[in-house]
Structure 1
Amino acid sequence: MGALVGKTALVTGASRGIGRGIARRLAQEDALVAVHYGGNETAVQRTLDLIAQEGGRAFAVRAELGVPGDVESLYARLEDELARQGAGPEIDILVNNAGISGSARIHEVTPELFDRLFAVNTRSLLFLVQRGLKNLRDGGRIINVSSASTRVAYPESVVYSMTKGALNTFTLALAKELGPRGITVNAVSPGFVETDMNAEKRTTPENRAALAAWSVFNRVGLPSDIAEIVAFLAADASRWITGQCLDASGGSRL
């Protein structure tokens, strides 16, 4: 049996990239995984198929984030799907991975870009956690996917970096707030990872080499690199870790 047998996890933004890797890894540890996605039916079906092929259990939950009613819609559908699975409305693990990027230096930032990134990456996350505390069992886990751009200056995406800085502060405050319930709250900060989000930065061997050079291991990260860390934080072995932001950038810019 896996380390998460009998546990239920919700992973937001799990149809592709890092989120898909996390969903697969938690399912490999025998968690029942709710795979949240915004609307890409092909991508989410691929995630579900991979989990099934690996002997795991998962189901999809569709909800667009950053729009009115997003959080209530997500949890209503989550609870309906859990009931169909013969499970209660409770969850044990909440992984806040959903997010959008937006490359823009300070002179390129628009109010529309600022509002959109904060709506999805920060506002939705806060209220998703607030509402989710009704479902999250005592002793549960909240894991937020942040970014190494909170440690290493990355002016190419200044607003995106700001949203992740807010997430780190939220992680710290929430860890203290939820300590009495035995809930741990931590963040994981990837560097460059092979996902659709940065695919345009890897279009040539030269560009790929430049990204790889950020890490002391001279390679671009894989979703599985991040998923392994999240799986550890989701398990009982991490019970004495909370309020932390774990750098998962492969030693970028040390």
Structure 2
Amino acid sequence: MGRTVLVTGGTSGIGRAVAARFAADGADVVITGRHRDTVESAAEELGVRGLACDATRPEEVAALAGEPAGSLDVLVNAAGGLPAAPDAGAPPLEALARQWLSSVSANVLTAVLTTAAVRDRLAPGSAIVSLGSIGAERGGGSYGAAKAALAAWNASLAAELGPRDVTCNVISSGYVAGTNFFGDGMTEERHRRLVEETLLKRPGTPDDIARTIVFLASPGARHITGQTIHVNGGAFTTR
């Protein structure tokens, strides 16, 4: 029998690529997203199950806790994104507060709530992988700060779940083309600059990240936990 995999934010971009990879390996995959129509459409196209769930809302995540039924082998926290556009009419400090709350809610709270809801169902030998960002390392504003907080939370989560033989890691992705992450904010000049920052001189693809996530959930990665794995073509290097 294949593994059971839950992917939040699985309707597009990296989350969708992750769901497709696990489904191709024969896993029983469930994807979530905020909007029922896009969830149902993506699930049908991928041949997986879909559940509408806004992972920033505790009541919706609580309803997700029993889905899919039984034990869970892999949780991928891929939900997230840039903060909501500021309200031009709001006082400056109020607008700033909304921006930061939006970033933390979308990029940290989604992972924290979902993980808390399903952690008791995680089987020995299971894996949690959360999607971080190169923005945590440099000039990421509220979004980068939220992704840095995600990595800090992951380290403590790994310590908590390690005795249960559950691994917990973060994928810190660099510039990934083929997603709607930047919306209308991606120009040709910005694309060239981000590509030039890499050592491989190409942008990442959703499948680059998906394949790394699949590895971290594989038997070959059972002694990797509490880590932030940088997948960015060398745009940010570690030692």
In the superposition, the TM-score normalised over structure 1's length comes to 0.83
Q: Is the 8 A contact 1:16 1:47 kept in 2?
A: no
Match of 1:202 among 150, 174, 186: 186
Where structure 2 has 5 or more consecutive residues not aligned to the other structure, the ranges are: 86-91
Match of 1:133 among 119, 123, 138: 119
SS at match of 2:182: helix
For residues 253 and 182 of structure 1, the distance between their equivalents in structure 2, rounded to whole angstroms, comes to: 30
C-alpha deviations, 1:209-247, integer Å up to 9, x for none?
A: 122112111222110010010000011111111111100
In structure 2, what is the equivalent of residue 144 of structure 1? 130
Closer/same/farther in 2, CA of residues 40 and 202 from structure 1, 3 Å limit: farther
| 1:120 lines up with 2:106 in the alignment | yes
What's the C-alpha RMSD, in Å, of the aligned pairs? 2.2
Q: Is the 8 A contact 1:35 1:44 kept in 2?
A: no
SS at match of 1:213: helix
Match of 1:252 among 231, 235, 239: 235
Amino acid at match of 2:116: Q
For residues 25 and 210 of structure 1, the distance between their equivalents in structure 2, rounded to whole angstroms, comes to: 30
Aligned residue-pair number: 230
For residues 100 and 109 of structure 2, the distance between their equivalents in structure 1, rounded to whole angstroms, comes to: 12
In structure 1, what is the equivalent of residue 143 of structure 2? 160
C-alpha deviations, 1:81-119, integer Å up to 9, x for none?
A: x4xxxxx42210000110121289xx8961111112212
Closer/same/farther in 2, CA of residues 199 and 212 from structure 1, 3 Å limit: farther
| 1:65 lines up with 2:55 in the alignment | yes
Q: CA deviation at 1:198?
A: 1.5
For residues 106 and 55 of structure 2, the distance between their equivalents in structure 1, rounded to whole angstroms, comes to: 6
Match of 1:241 among 210, 221, 224: 224
Match of 1:32 among 28, 35, 53: 28
Amino acid at match of 2:81: I
Q: Which runs of 4+ in 1 moved over 6 A?
A: none
Percent pairwise identity: 29
Match of 1:41 among 34, 37, 40: 37
Amino acid at match of 1:146: G
Q: Is the 8 A contact 1:24 1:47 kept in 2?
A: no
